[in-house]
């Protein structure tokens, strides 16, 4: 019943897109009839290649996609990206001192896995740049992906042309009508309107207001709604707003297949919808995440402001790893600090389930709501 034009176009059974950094979630969702979309930013081309091989083997003939973060503005943009050493020189000593004091105050231990720390730091510096994105795109095009999406900006024409030559569609996340219009002009095939409630980088306009305006602005390009979907009633709402499907993120962080840090998973299960905020403290750009001692510290006006992309990720990457290592061991300070991106729908995410079960539940709830709406005009009667 939920099958529509998007399903035809992208060979899906249900118009539910699942953004995730966990290859096993992509596999589960794509095999269950939705489209898993792997967030590649933060991976080396080699790691990404291994993940794509795994997904391709586990999802024969199914639809899956890839997402990158290539913002319109970042430090080193003129050069297409700077080396790690050049980027490090842009990080002020005051920021390093503040971070060291924060870790001392919360008694966070020294790094355990030095090799992992160095690799994370290097990825933090390289993944948000044209040269970093190009290296990932070169890998993506070796696999039978259906969709290539940019989280934060407009892809260069070379990416779009290469994708279209291979029959791959291009999509982009937008949080404002003016950004949607720019993406339309740049030739995207699908627009993902992402509201204030969403987890990760997001703007400050709610979906109820954003989606209908984006739908009207970019017609006839299809729009799907991102943000706030944790049950089928919200899919019905998205469709009523003019979207042709939903793009989801947070809901997969609580699945059995997700690589979410176990302490963070526990925190998510206990959190309410009032426990998130948009903060620059994790990437340098506003991203919705769980409130914690980490966000409290960075939001405090007497402390330094987060740095622009990708300097902030570079600054904090080792600190975040130290916090995660300590939180795993149950250390108090790190447990207070540890957090992750999550949407306002966290208040609806109370238990861990297999990803396929989550997808089937979303669809069943949607169908029930639509049937009740048709019969009684109310989803609850």
Ligand X SMILES: Cc1cc2nc3c(=O)[nH]c(=O)nc-3n(C[C@H](O)[C@H](O)[C@H](O)COP(=O)(O)O)c2cc1C
Residues between 318 and 347 with contacts to ligand X, criterion CB under 6 A:
340-343, 345
Query: Which CA distances in Å does 145 have to 12, 33, 111, 334?
Result: 13, 15, 37, 38
Backbone angles phi, psi at 64, to 5 degrees: -145, 165
Residues between 34 and 63 with contacts to ligand X, criterion CB under 6 A:
39, 41
235 is a contact residue toward ligand X (CB under 6 A): no
Burial readout 371-381 (b: 16 or more C-beta within 10 A, e: otherwise): eebeeeeebee
194 is a contact residue toward ligand X (CB under 6 A): yes
Binding mask 9-28 for ligand X (x = CB under 6 A): ----------x---------
Backbone angles phi, psi at 180, to 5 degrees: -65, -40
Select from 248, 281, 282, 295 the one that contacts ligand X (CB under 6 A): 248
The residue sitting closest to ligand X, measured at its beta carbon, is 249
Residues 6 or more apart whose CB falls under 8 angstroms from that of 118 comprise none
Cβ-based nearer residue to ligand X, 95 or 174? 174
Total residues binding ligand X (CB under 6 A):
28
Cβ-based nearer residue to ligand X, 95 or 344? 344
Cβ-based nearer residue to ligand X, 231 or 299? 231
Select from 65, 228, 306, 333 the one that contacts ligand X (CB under 6 A): 228
Binding mask 154-193 for ligand X (x = CB under 6 A): -------------------x--------------------
Binding mask 76-95 for ligand X (x = CB under 6 A): --------------------
190-194/223-226 β-pairing:
parallel
Select from 125, 199, 203, 306 the one that contacts ligand X (CB under 6 A): 199
Select from 29, 38, 69, 135 the one that contacts ligand X (CB under 6 A): 69
Q: Where along the sequence are the contacts to ligand X (CB under 6 A)?
A: 19, 39, 41, 67, 69, 149, 151, 173, 194, 197-200, 226-229, 247-251, 253, 340-343, 345
């Amino acid at each position: 019943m939920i099958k529509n034009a998007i399903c035809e176009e992208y060979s899906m059974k249900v118009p539910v897109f699942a953004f995730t950094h966990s290859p096993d979630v992509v596999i589960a969702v794509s095999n269950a009839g939705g489209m898993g979309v792997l967030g590649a930013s933060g991976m080396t081309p080699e790691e990404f290649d291994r993940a794509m091989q795994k997904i391709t083997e586990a999802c024969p003939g199914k639809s899956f996609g890839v997402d990158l973060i290539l913002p319109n503005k970042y430090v080193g943009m003129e050069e297409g990206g700077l080396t790690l050493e050049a980027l490090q020189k842009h990080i002020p000593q005051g920021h390093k001192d503040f971070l060291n004091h924060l870790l001392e105050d919360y008694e966070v231990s020294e790094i355990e896995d030095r090799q992992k720390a160095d690799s994370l730091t290097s990825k933090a510096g390289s993944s948000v740049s044209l040269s970093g994105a190009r290296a990932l795109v070169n890998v993506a095009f070796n696999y039978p992906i259906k969709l290539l999406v940019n989280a934060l900006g407009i892809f260069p024409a070379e990416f779009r042309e290469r994708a279209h030559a291979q029959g791959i569609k291009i999509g982009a996340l937008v949080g404002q009508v003016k950004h949607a219009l720019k993406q339309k002009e740049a030739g995207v095939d699908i627009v993902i309107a992402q509201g204030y409630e969403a987890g990760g980088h997001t703007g400050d306009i709610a979906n109820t207001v954003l989606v209908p305006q984006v739908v009207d602005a970019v017609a006839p390009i299809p729009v799907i709604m991102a943000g706030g979907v944790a049950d089928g009633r919200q899919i019905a709402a998205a469709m009523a707003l003019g979207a042709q499907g939903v793009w989801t993120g947070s809901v997969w962080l609580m699945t059995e297949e997700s690589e979410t840090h176990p302490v963070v998973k526990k925190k998510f299960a206990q959190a309410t919808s009032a426990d998130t905020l948009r903060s620059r403290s994790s990437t340098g750009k506003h991203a919705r995440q769980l409130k914690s001692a980490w966000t409290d510290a960075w939001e405090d006006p007497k402390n330094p402001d987060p740095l622009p992309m990708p300097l902030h990720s570079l600054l904090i990457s080792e600190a975040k790893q130290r916090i995660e290592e300590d939180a795993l061991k149950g250390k108090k300070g790190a447990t207070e600090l540890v957090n992750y991106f999550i949407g306002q729908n966290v208040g609806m995410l109370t238990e861990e389930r297999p990803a396929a079960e989550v997808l089937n539940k979303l669809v069943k709830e949607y169908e029930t709501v639509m049937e009740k709406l048709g019969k009684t005009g109310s989803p609850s009667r």
